[in-house]
């Protein structure tokens, strides 16, 4: 078998690189830049067995033991009969994972900043910091209601019968309800402008003023 199929983290590659440059060789200006990748290991708690299909553990029923005991019966002497997975549209497994998670979440980080000693013991800095998350976990309904187009071409996923009541359209597989599974299909972006002014005084005193303007975009907060 393909080992990468059995272990999605086997081929993770996390390069890190950084540089610093003194452009004027007067030791008063510094330009720094760096880039790195960081994978987020999927721990066993993220893939608990009771969150995995076919969810039979949630429908097992233990019936009382109907036999006779010569002396005493063990409290575990019961006839455990596997239940039947309901196919009447009532199955809605909560907090579940997609059957085969084959990606490891990771983040790319980068930054570029310039520092300058504008006066004795006074340093000003300005920089750009960004990051991009890939393959983050998010929940998605894999059995969505089938849309119906109206005369205006708009999609409707339910039928409204009153201001407070509605009926969901039949789902892709009407034998089941909402199948909301977690999968590594989300992403995010972060961009920021970071500035600071640092002044060092005598007797171990220091003053700093900072300002950050940032923007974060994601599809799975």
3-class state of residue 5 by DSSP: helix
Write the pLDDT tens digit of every residue in 174-194.
Answer: 888 888 888 888 999 999 999
- Predicted local confidence at residue 206, as pLDDT: 95
For the ranges 60-69, 73-82, 89-98, 179-188, the maximum mean pLDDT occurs at: 179-188
Confidence of residue 87 (pLDDT cuts 50, 70, 90): confident
Confidence of residue 46 (pLDDT cuts 50, 70, 90): low
3-class state of residue 49 by DSSP: helix
For the ranges 88-102, 115-129, 170-184, the maximum mean pLDDT occurs at: 115-129
- Going by C-alpha positions, the residue among 170, 189, 97 that lies closest to residue 140 is 97
Q: What is the average pLDDT across 106-122?
A: 96
Q: What is the average pLDDT across 130-153?
A: 90
Whether residue 99 is predicted with pLDDT greater than 80 in this model: the reply is no
């Amino acid at each position: 078998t393909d080992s990468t199929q059995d272990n999605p983290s086997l081929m993770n590659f996390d390069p890190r690189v950084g540089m610093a440059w003194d452009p004027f060789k007067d030791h008063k200006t510094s330009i720094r830049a760096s880039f790195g990748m960081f994978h987020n290991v999927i721990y066993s708690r993220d893939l608990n067995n009771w969150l995995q299909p076919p969810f039979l553990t949630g429908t097992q029923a233990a019936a009382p033991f109907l036999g006779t005991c010569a002396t005493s019966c063990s409290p575990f002497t019961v006839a455990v009969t596997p239940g039947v997975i309901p196919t009447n549209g009532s199955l809605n497994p909560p907090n579940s994972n997609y059957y085969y998670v084959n990606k490891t979440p990771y983040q790319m980080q980068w930054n570029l900043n310039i520092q300058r000693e504008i006066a004795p013991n006074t340093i000003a800095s300005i920089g750009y910091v960004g990051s991009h998350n890939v393959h983050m976990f998010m929940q998605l309904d894999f059995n969505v209601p089938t849309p119906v187009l109206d005369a205006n071409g708009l999609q409707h996923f339910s039928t409204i019968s009153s201001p407070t009541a509605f009926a969901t359209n039949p789902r892709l597989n009407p034998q089941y309800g909402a199948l909301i599974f977690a999968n590594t299909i989300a992403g995010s972006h972060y961009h920021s402008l970071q500035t600071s002014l640092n002044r060092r005084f005598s007797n171990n005193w220091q003053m700093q003023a900072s300002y950050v303007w940032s923007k974060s975009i994601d599809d799975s907060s």
